[in-house]
Amino acid sequence: VSQDALQNDIDSAALLDHAENLQAIAYQTTGRNRVFGSPGHNFTTLYLYELISQLDEYYDVEYQPFIETFSGGDATLTVNGEDQQAELMTYAPNGQVEAPIVAVSNLGCEPSDFPAEVSGAIALISRGTCDFGLKAAYAGAAGAAGAVIYNNVNGSLSGTLGAPNRTEGTYPPTAAISLSNGRAILALLEAGEVTGDLNVNSIIEDRVTMNVIAQTKAGDPDNVIFVGAHSDSVEAGPGINDNGSGSIGILEVALKLAKYEVNNAVRFAWWSAEEFGLLGAEYYVNQTTPEDLDKIRLYLNFDMIASPNYFLGIYDGDGSAFNLSGPAGSAEAEALFEGYFASKELPSQPTEFSGRSDYGPFLDVGVAAGGLFTGAEQVKTEAEAALYGGTAGLAYDENYHREGDTVDNLNLEAFLINTRAIAHAVATYADSFDSLPARSQRVVRRSPLVPKARATGCHHKHAEEATAR
């Protein structure tokens, strides 16, 4: 397969057409979204499966069904009678709580952070360091009647506690608020007692969902280049950038690849339930034997590749920028994308290789990984605006995890640039892995986690974890 030829096969019109189709799929359902286990997501997986199955002489295509616990609903919060913008933390239980608000010490990642006054109160906790579910569980163990987690960066916060029944404690009704609202409550607490009224209305139920996986019939099956993106959205909207863009990008590369010969097997996956803690990718890794994991030379992940106020981010595989490196081969994947952007006279920058998207479970079992990202809710800097254009001081994607993440939210320039970069990587590794280090024994960092709590923070809003990668 020719690198230039596959890149040149990618055009904006096809990308836009897929985006419009995904939006139409979402909007034909009552939920107007593509959240996992919903009609919108089921039709999304059908769309992907049917398109790639048309190439059944080139690909083996399968559904990988699994059952996961879904949580949805809404939350409201008033503070001293004033309404606050609050978001449901998925997997939080139902409940209505009117009680004093008590600020938690530090970041709520240790039982000792919760003072005795938390018992019967609403615990106010900062985001940071450990996952949201641990904070909520410790709050429950301390007797809190409710919990409110506030962001540690500008912007609203939404995320997941992860499936309940943790050993650390029972979740109380829990919601999320912005940094500015959190600071305002802390200021009120400095002046005296503050009363909160927290109302969480949620449903928690098991749902059947599925990954879609396609692999070339040709190419060495013992040397696989694996390309993935999550196919689900959040409940708030159709999720056309997050992550329609990544799903479409790898879909279009897969469709165009089919007229070329490959030396190495190429595998594509569209993961379900990423927004609930990387669940589809974790299920896949858990179901794959060590022998088959050894055949994956590199996993590449594409999550939000068309943010409207974008930067061109490459996962920091060598750890030089964020001191979080990937397994052997990850640095070389980063270098490949750096070289590609440089060859097109485009700027790029490293983005934290934190494991907070679907590459995380692969890192956990020692599979080399890489990928691209164009930004979520964090704010573009002046320096980035000078490099990429756009507006400093605004979020990379102001519609991140919102109803407005529609076709109109896409930056088509970034979409085309990144999809052609995906084509370059697929063509390179489908031909040869010579640029990667020799295959070595995988080093398993840890078993894939009980759901990685996913927040709405940069890198794609996955909640921080106590264990650094």
Q: Which residues are catalytic?
A: 274
- How many Å apart are CA 453 and CA 275, to the nearest integer? 9
DSSP line for 384-450: HHHHH-S-TTSBS-TTTTSTT-SGGG--HHHHHHHHHHHHHHHHHHHH--TTSPPP------SPPPS
Distances in Å between the Cα of 256 and the Cα atoms of 120, 253, 458 are 59, 5, 31
- Report the amino acid identity of residue 185: I
Strand runs labelled E in 56-156: 59-79, 82-84, 87-90, 95-103, 122-126, 146-150
Phi and psi dihedrals of 407, rounded to 5?
A: -55, -40
> Which DSSP state fits 427?
H
Q: Tally the C-alpha atoms within 13 A of residue 168's C-alpha that lie toward its C-beta.
A: 22
β-strands 369-373, 313-315 pairing: antiparallel
Residue 120 structure tokens: 């019967």
3-state secondary structure of 39: helix
CA 286, CA 85: separation in Å to the nearest integer?
Answer: 38
- Could you give the CA distance from residue 285 to residue 448 in angstroms, rounded to a whole number? 8
| Strand, coil or helix: 121 | coil
Task: Compute the distance between CA of residue 320 and CA of residue 324 in angstroms, rounded to an integer.
Answer: 8
Q: Are 117 and 126 in contact (CB under 8 A)?
A: no
Which pair of structure tokens corresponds to residue 150? 């506030």
Structure tokens given for 285: 């890794």
Query: Which residue type, as a one-letter code, is found at position 266?
Result: V
Residue 337 DSSP label: H
| CA 432 to each of CA 47, 111, 349, 417, 425: distance values in angstroms, whole numbers, following the listed order | 31, 51, 25, 23, 11
Element (H or E) spanning 223, and its range?
A: strand 220-230
Q: What is the dihedral of CA 330, 332, 338, 340, to 10 degrees?
A: -120
